[in-house]
């Protein structure tokens, strides 16, 4: 189960705006590689939509059957907004419906386009 927590306006290849729903999975405990201590986190992904701003706002808090899963993609640079640290990543997080897995078609598409982080 994931929860819609926000929405963001993005631009398509033609420069036209569209809304994406930001979904978040459940809480997870991850062990820090640096300190060895656990911290709480949750995976996020964005889902393109055809909804206007008002509809997107009304959907915040709604739950969807599915999960946020890791999908490999071409390496890209990512800047952590909180720390300013620049990292090279080769994965992104995608929403997958309940009972499905990240398909080969989705994986192939991720290698063709620039990753979009939430």
Tens of pLDDT, residues 24-41 = 999 999 998 889 999 999
Separation between Cα atoms, residue 87 and residue 79, nearest integer Å:
6
CA distances from 114 to 13, 75, 96 (A): 11, 9, 19
pTM exceeds cut of 0.95: no
SS (H, E, C) 46-74: EEECCCCHHHHHHHCCCEECEEEEEEEEE
Cβ(80)–Cβ(62) below 8 Å: no
Give the per-residue pLDDT at 56: 98
Of 64 and 107, more confident: 64
Q: How many CB atoms lie within 10 A of CB 93?
A: 20
Query: How many residues in the chain?
Result: 118
């Amino acid at each position: 189960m994931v929860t819609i927590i926000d929405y963001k306006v993005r631009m398509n290849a033609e420069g036209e705006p569209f809304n994406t729903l930001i979904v978040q999975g459940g809480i997870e405990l991850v062990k820090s590689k640096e300190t060895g201590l656990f911290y709480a986190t949750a995976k996020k992904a964005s889902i393109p939509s055809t909804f206007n701003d008002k509809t997107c706002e009304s959907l915040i808090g709604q739950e969807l059957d599915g999960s946020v899963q890791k999908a490999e993609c071409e390496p890209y640079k990512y800047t952590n907004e909180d720390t300013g640290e620049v990292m090279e990543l080769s994965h992104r997080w995608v929403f997958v419906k309940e009972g499905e897995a990240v398909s080969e078609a989705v994986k192939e598409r991720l290698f063709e386009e620039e990753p979009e982080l939430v």
